[in-house]
A = this chain, B = another copy of it.
């Protein structure tokens, strides 16, 4: 599915996205007092993007529906990451009751031009990605918590985003009575 989606729509070099995103992070850092606030703000910006990107995703990806939290894992990792960041990601580290999993990937193209100075050790530079996932999954009525737990930018061997289910929403006006 991800491969198919790569052929649809117009695409631009990831370098331009990475440099534009770097400008955004610098601007947010200049505006907020604490790194914690910066991380929050990047997540919020991502959330708004994810909400808008959800339609684009379904239009291009060939994914028709996804209501279970378990299905969402493969769709986010295998289709979403491939489509939007050209990244091969995998799903792993499910918890015992299947309400949390991790998305693992080696290279983070958003951080291609970035090195974190020591004073920014707590910065979750690519936190926008967590927000995008959170926003897009909320369009599927899945409320999740989403955060980087490991990052190559912070010296880890790979990137790990942890996604935990908080709540499954119901459609406000169900059109379908099955089940």
Contacts and interface: CB of A to CB of B under 8 A. Distances in A.
A103 interface: no
29 contacts: A9-B13, A9-B15, A10-B13, A10-B109, A11-B11, A11-B14, A11-B86, A12-B13, A12-B17, A12-B84, A12-B86, A12-B109, A13-B56, A13-B83, A13-B84, A15-B53, A17-B17, A19-B52, A20-B20, A20-B24, A20-B49, A20-B128, A23-B24, A23-B48, A23-B49, A24-B27, A27-B28, A27-B45, A31-B31
A13 to B, nearest CB: 5
Interface string A10-54: 111111110111011001101100000000000001001100110
A13 B11 contact: yes
Nearest to A5: B13
Contacts of A16: 17, 49, 53, 84
A109 B17 CA distance: 13
Contact of A9 (B14, B30, B85): B14
> Binding site of A, secondary structure by majority: helix, strand, loop or mixed?
helix
B31 A27 contact: yes
Given A17-B17, A19-B52, A20-B128, A12 B113 contact: no
Q: Which 9 A-B pairs have the closest CB atoms?
A: A11-B11, A10-B86, A19-B49, A24-B24, A23-B45, A10-B14, A12-B14, A17-B17, A27-B27
Nearest to A128: B20
Interface in A45-68: 45, 48-49, 52-53, 56, 60
